[in-house]
Amino acid sequence: MLALGAPSAFASFIVAPHTAGRDGDLSGNTVASPNDAGSAQYINPAGVVSETADQTMFAVAAMNFTAHYDNGMGYNHTSSKTPVLVNFWYGLGDWSGWKMSVAAYGSVGTAFDFSADPGNGVPSRLMGKLTVLNLGFVIGRQLTKDLRVGMQLTPRYGKQQFQAPTPLGNAEFDIDGFGIVGTLGLVYDLSDDLSLGLAYQSPGLVDMDGSGEVNGQKQGVEHNLHTPQSVTAGAAFQWTPKTNLLAQMKWTDYGQFENGDIKWDKTTALNQPFIGSARGRIRWGLGLEHEVVPNSFLRLSFSYEPWMIDREAVRPYLFDTRDFMVMAGYEIRYETLSLGFIGGYSTSTDRTISAAENGLTPGTYGTENDVMAGFRITWHR
């Protein structure tokens, strides 16, 4: 779910660590060097105070996402999906010293979807889908020679689908709705070679409602999805005239997911938090950006984050694992446009959860080694 702005974040995509822009090449480690559309719209809005204010960008990337669940009692199934990440940026230029832009970003197709297996105690699908699409309004200003700031207000649209067996029968719903979130950021140049970046994303909200049913009984369903606040800090060092080194840490308060309740109109016994128990986590990473030949850039990076959903709250239709991500990108800049290509690989470790730790859905959870690929085009006006 891109842009809920990252569980093993990449592994279950509850909150994505980056978009398909230059920030994706660098695993999202661009808070101190957000000089591209992807970073400015998703990592640090102070990035609008750069040449991005006069650019238009379109980026798309797809990844294979394969998850498996083995309950240790005969049910052993795989879910395979292909999420697509899309982002668009249109710089509005300068207005009385303020740089402005509009941006749209989100994901399509991210899901867990395990098939039914009545012979092994699972009479219906185990399916959970959540998509959040964002429309950001970005504004920023150069306050001093060394300090630039930015802010973003982001209306958002969310859609959620769910199906799973319960003690009361098969339960399913299809709901959607709207919400909002905000982001503040700054970049401070300590010297010509060293920059520091800081960004804060506020807690967000998406109020969704729609129809559902439990054991054939139709009813309304509501979910006030709370998305977590986060603080991102990092540094960018111009090691040589052609080589830039980046380092970053991002703390995300995933426990705020517990504030969002799924409520059934009639079958109130099934009312529950979106995630029953989660904990704040830190994602950290490093990146390298090198100008191979004039106007051609190679980027390499990695990031790491442990799981955030506690063992008692893991479910087949919503789980996460510890992940380690490696990303790479190559971009060629021409006079009026740039072409970029992105690729990545994420590996994770399985989680085996005992019945003592999780009485509802124990077993072994994991994801395969995920691969991402995509491209982007940027027009320079």
One-letter amino acid for residue 89 of the chain:
W
For the cut 60, the answer to whether the pLDDT of residue 109 exceeds it is: no
pLDDT at 2: 31
Average pLDDT over residues 279-291: 96
The pLDDT value recorded for residue 76 is: 96
pLDDT digits (tens, 9 = 90+) for 236-269: 999 999 999 999 999 999 999 999 999 999 999 9
In this predicted structure, which of 21-35, 102-116, 149-163, 324-338 has the lowest mean pLDDT? 102-116
Per-residue model confidence as pLDDT tens digits over 319-365: 888 888 999 999 999 999 999 999 999 888 899 999 999 999 999 99
Q: Which residues contact 200 (CB under 8 A, 6 or more apart)?
A: 183, 184, 185, 229, 230, 231, 232
Comparing CA positions, the residue from 31, 34, 17, 137 lying closest to residue 89 is 137
Residue 278's contacts (CB-CB under 8 Å, 6 or more residues apart) are: 254, 255, 257, 258, 308, 309, 310, 313
Distance CA 184, CA 17 (A): 17
- Confidence at 1, pLDDT banded by 50, 70, 90: very low
* C-alpha distances out from residue 281 to 4, 192, 374, Å: 15, 32, 28
Residues forming a β-bridge with 263:
222
Check whether 11 has a pLDDT greater than 50. Answer: no
Residue 110 has pLDDT above 70, yes or no: no
CA distance 232 to 250: 4
154 token code pair: 């982001």
Does residue 5 register a pLDDT over 50? no
- The whole-number average pLDDT for the span 135-149 is 97
Percent of the chain with pLDDT over 90: 83
Measured between alpha carbons, how far is 296 from 293 in angstroms, rounded to an integer?
Answer: 5
Rounded distance, CA 51 to CA 379, Å?
A: 11
List Cα–Cα distances, 252 to 161, 198, 227, 337, in angstroms: 25, 14, 10, 35
**Taking a C-beta distance cutoff of 8 angstroms, is the pair 195, 188 a contact?**
yes
Q: For the residues 18-30, what does the mean pLDDT come to?
A: 94
> What is the band of 151 on the pLDDT scale with cuts at 50, 70, 90?
very high
CA end-to-end span of the chain, whole Å? 31
* Residue closest to 315 by CA, chosen among 161, 126, 132: 126
Mean pLDDT value across the chain: 92
